[in-house]
Structure formats: structure tokens, C-alpha cells
């Protein structure tokens, strides 16, 4: 059986989606019963518009693809099913963040019309893979999808994410010029729901209280971030890793930081939490969206809307090495739930169910 993974445009710059497609492609290479191929669409050479390419060119291109089964790798391309055999096409929905926050009237003044257009095709799919139970619930409650169509498959952490020895950690701390007299707190991502601005204010208060603290930012800078950093005069307290990094490089950063601060307002899954735990990094996290089921009782939880709660709990972790050590043990135990073998076996079962 041939399964074709229908991916995103490179211009979308959706690294997480590209990684998901590549992970399936690379790990099914040795499967003797299922041959997985990947398709990456190309922008129109005539109309240099991502919207034209996404909603007109890509569906037309999909009509000409030959495969036993098609797997659309994310919900922003749900509309592709109109060009494919509905009996032989499935999709993965990682999260419904634009829809969730539009419904909450959190940041969108206008409805995300093109996104809603794509989501309108979800009901045509025979099987939908959801990245978490929370995403499954959103599909049912916000999109009216029948529960029996949805299969929950957690994302795995990749093999590169693991704990380094103390000697190796020392080498990488020296490589990146991390001062042993400072406590390094990691923030990841670039989207508004990551709650970075509130996090910056919390960490600024902790620095002003006299703690030797450095903020490590993994992911690109953006306007609101830069403005807040300038307003708080935090420029000298932040270390940036803004360029695209390999899994191994990201693993290095997890291993040399002291704490992952993840005060997200919503997650469809929350992969950085799992990756950090696999690298032995203590995690302080909100329990919003899927994070309650992903973290369970294995992290130090915070209210992401409460400045005081976040500040006090971060300080508590800075002060207590014993508590951080316990979180490392809990995190490593939690990671076992997100295994590569389970992820691949469940995808194989889904593919076979559509033969």
C-alpha cells in the first residue's frame, strides 16, 4: 500500500508540520507493507500568492497524484479532500487554535474566513487523527465532528532528545558561554498564545528582586516581544537561539538550561514539554488546553493568567534543587507515554483501516 503525505508549502514556514511529515516518512522507510511518500507543494510561478497556491493550485495538483491512500498532515489543508477520494483520505488535526481563540474573541476582530473554509471540509473525512484528547473534544464541540471518526495519537519525542552526562553538559555550557553563577530559564516559540509578554514581566520582577537569572529564548523574535524587552530593559538578560536548529542542537539547549517556563494559554499538544522532560529539564507549565493531559502531575503547574502565582512558583523552583530533581524524575517517567513505537503502530493501524 502506498500512502502519500500531503504537506505544507515551504513558504508557510511551519517547521513543526514539516517535522511531522518527515518523521512519518523517515520512520516508515523500513515498513514492508506500507510505502510512505511525501508531497511538498510548490508555489505558482504565475500568481505569486500563497492564498492562490493553497486554495486553487494545490487542490488541482492533488487531483493528478496517484496513491492508494492520502494523509493530509494538518487541518489548514482540509479543503484538499475535495480533489481526492474521500474513502481513501485521512487528516491529522494538531490543534484548532485560530478557531478556539476566535470563539473566545481573544485576539481576532474578524472571523478567520479562509481557515473556517478549510475546516468546513473536515466532516468529509472518514478518519481524523487528533494530537490529544483536548483536540478531539474541540473537533466535536466546535466543528461538529462525530466522535467515532476521531483517533487520538500523541506525538512522540524523537530519539535525539535525551539526558547528557554532567561532563557533556559542562562542555556545552562552556560552548554557549553559560555562566555557572546564573540560573537559565528557557522560553520557546513565537505565537501570542505562548504568553511570552506576561512571562517576561514575571521574570523581570524576579531579576529585580535580586536573582541572577538569564532568559534563553528558543525561536524567532517578533514585534511584541521586542517591544516588551525594550520597555523592560531586558536586552542584556536574554540569550537568543532564533535560527532554525536541528533536533540535536535543541537537545543541547534543553540540557544546559535549568528550567523550562511554559505558561501557554492553549496547546493542541505541547511537544516542547515532552522534549524537555526527555532531556531531564524540570518543567513549570500551565495546564491549559491539552497540557493537563500531557503534563498530568509530572510538572510544576501554574495559572498562566496570574502574575503572582507564576512569580512565586518560579522563585520556589530556583531556590529548591531538591524540587527540581524530583521534577526530572517525574518527567522521565511521563515521557514513556509518548513512545515512537506506539505512535507508528497507531498510524499503521489507521492506514490499514482505510485499505
Nine-digit cell string for 211: 536573582
For residue 325, the model assigns a pLDDT of 96
With 60 as the cut, is the pLDDT of residue 334 above it?
A: yes
Give residue-wise pLDDT tens across range 39-88: 999 998 888 888 999 999 999 999 999 999 999 999 999 999 999 999 99
CA nearest neighbour of 158 among 234, 57, 272, 46:
272
| Packed helices 223-232 and 196-208: angle between N→C axes, nearest 10 degrees | 20
DSSP of 21-41: HHHHHHHTTT-SS-EEEEE--
Average pLDDT value for residue range 3-18: 92
For residue 209, the model assigns a pLDDT of 97
For residue 245, the model assigns a pLDDT of 85
Average pLDDT value for residue range 230-245: 92
Give residue-wise pLDDT tens across range 170-184: 999 999 999 999 999
With 60 as the cut, is the pLDDT of residue 308 above it?
A: yes
Longest dimension (CA), the chain: 63
Give residue-wise pLDDT tens across range 272-305: 999 999 999 999 999 999 999 999 888 899 999 9
Q: What percent of the chain has pLDDT over 70?
A: 99
Q: List b or e across 108-120, with b for residues whose CB sees 16 or more CB atoms inside 10 angstroms.
A: eeeeeeebeebbe
For residue 79, the model assigns a pLDDT of 97
Domains and their CATH numbers in the chain: 2-156+339-353 (3.40.50.2000), 166-335 (3.40.50.2000)
For residue 255, the model assigns a pLDDT of 97
For residue 48, the model assigns a pLDDT of 81
Amino acid at each position: 500500500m502506498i500512502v502519500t503525505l500531503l504537506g505544507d508549502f515551504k513558504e508557510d514556514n511551519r517547521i513543526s508540520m514539516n517535522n511531522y511529515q518527515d518523521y512519518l516518512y523517515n520512520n516508515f522507510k523500513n515498513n514492508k507493507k506500507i510505502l510512505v511518500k511525501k508531497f511538498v507543494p510548490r508555489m505558482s510561478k504565475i500568481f505569486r500568492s500563497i492564498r492562490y497556491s493553497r486554495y486553487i493550485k494545490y487542490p488541482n495538483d492533488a487531483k493528478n497524484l496517484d496513491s492508494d491512500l492520502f494523509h493530509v498532515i494538518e487541518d489548514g489543508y482540509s479543503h484538499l479532500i475535495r480533489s481526492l477520494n474521500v474513502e481513501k483520505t485521512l487528516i491529522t488535526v494538531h490543534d484548532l487554535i485560530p478557531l478556539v481563540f476566535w470563539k473566545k474573541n481573544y485576539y481576532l476582530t474578524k472571523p478567520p474566513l479562509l481557515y473556517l473554509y478549510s475546516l468546513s471540509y473536515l466532516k468529509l473525512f472518514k478518519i481524523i487523527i487528533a494530537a490529544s484528547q483536548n483536540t478531539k473534544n474541540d473537533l466535536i464541540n466546535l466543528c461538529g465532528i462525530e466522535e467515532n471518526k476521531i483517533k487520538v495519537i500523541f506525538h512522540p519525542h524523537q530519539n535525539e532528545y535525551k539526558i547528557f552526562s554532567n561532563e557533556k553538559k559542562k562542555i556545552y555550557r562552556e560552548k554557549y558561554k553559560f555562566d555557572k553563577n546564573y540560573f537559565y530559564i528557557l522560553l520557546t516559540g513565537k505565537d501570542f498564545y505562548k504568553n511570552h509578554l506576561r512571562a517576561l514581566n514575571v521574570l523581570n520582577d524576579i531579576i529585580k528582586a535580586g536573582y541572577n537569572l538569564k532568559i534563553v529564548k528558543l525561536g524567532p523574535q517578533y514585534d511584541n516581544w521586542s517591544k516588551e524587552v525594550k520597555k523592560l530593559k531586558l536586552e542584556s538578560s536574554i540569550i537568543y537561539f532564533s535560527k532554525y536548529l536541528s533536533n540535536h542542537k535543541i537537545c543541547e539547549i534543553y540540557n544546559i538550561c535549568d528550567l523550562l517556563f511554559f505558561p501557554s494559554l492553549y496547546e493542541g499538544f505541547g511537544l516542547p514539554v515532552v522534549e524537555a522532560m526527555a532531556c531531564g529539564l524540570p518543567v513549570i507549565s500551565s495546564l491549559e488546553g491539552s497540557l493537563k493531559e500531557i503534563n498530568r502531575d509530572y510538572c510544576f503547574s501554574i495559572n498562566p493568567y496570574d502574575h503572582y502565582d507564576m512569580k512565586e512558583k518560579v522563585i520556589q523552583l530556583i531556590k529548591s534543587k531538591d524540587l527540581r530533581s524530583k521534577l526530572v524524575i517525574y518527567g522521565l517517567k511521563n515521557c514513556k507515554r509518548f513512545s515512537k513505537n506506539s505512535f507508528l503502530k497507531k498510524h499503521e493501524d489507521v492506514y490499514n483501516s482505510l485499505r
